[in-house]
Amino acid sequence: MERVFGTEDMGRFTKVMDVYWPDLRKLIVNYCYGMYQSERLVLADVDTSRISLASLVTMDVPKQLSWHIRGFMNLGGTKEELLKTLDIAKSIVDIVGVQLKYPMPDVDETIKSVKLV
C-alpha cells in the first residue's frame, strides 16, 4: 500500500481505519493490498493499478479514484497510460449505459498533487 499511496497518505488512511473501521482495515490491508495488489507474478504494478482504476471509474467513487490516480503515477505510470485507461473505463460505462452520479477527478489537478514515493 505504501508503494501505491506513499507513507504520508498511508499513515492517514490507517489511522482513520484504526479508529473507525478496524475490521475494514484488516480486510483492505491483508486481502485487497496484501494479496491482490502485491501479487507480481502475472501483472506488473502499473498493470494491476490499471485494473483498479477501471474498476473505480465504473463504481463511481471519485475520491478513491483520485487516490489511485496518484498511486498509478507513484508506481511509474505515465499520464498517457493513465488517460488511455480512464478512456477505456469511460467507454465501458457508456456501452453498458451506466449513469455516473459524480464527476471524475480532474487528472491534471490530481497529478499535480503527486509526491512520488
Asked whether residue 117 is assigned to any structural domain, the reply reads no
Other CB atoms within a 10 A radius of the CB of residue 36 amount to: 11
Residue 56 belongs to some domain of the structure: yes
CA distance 47 to 27: 22
Share of the chain above pLDDT 70, in %: 91
Joined together, the cell numbers standing for residue 72 give 498509478
Q: What is the mean pLDDT of residues 5-11?
A: 75
pTM of the model: 0.79
The total of structural domains in the chain comes to: 1
Q: Judge whether 51 lies within some domain.
A: yes
Looking at residue 71, which CATH number applies to its domain? 1.20.1290
Note down the domain range covering 37: 2-112
CA dihedral for 109, 80, 39, 54, sign (positive or negative): positive
Q: Does residue 60 form part of some domain?
A: yes
Confidence of residue 21 (pLDDT cuts 50, 70, 90): confident
26 has pLDDT over 60: yes
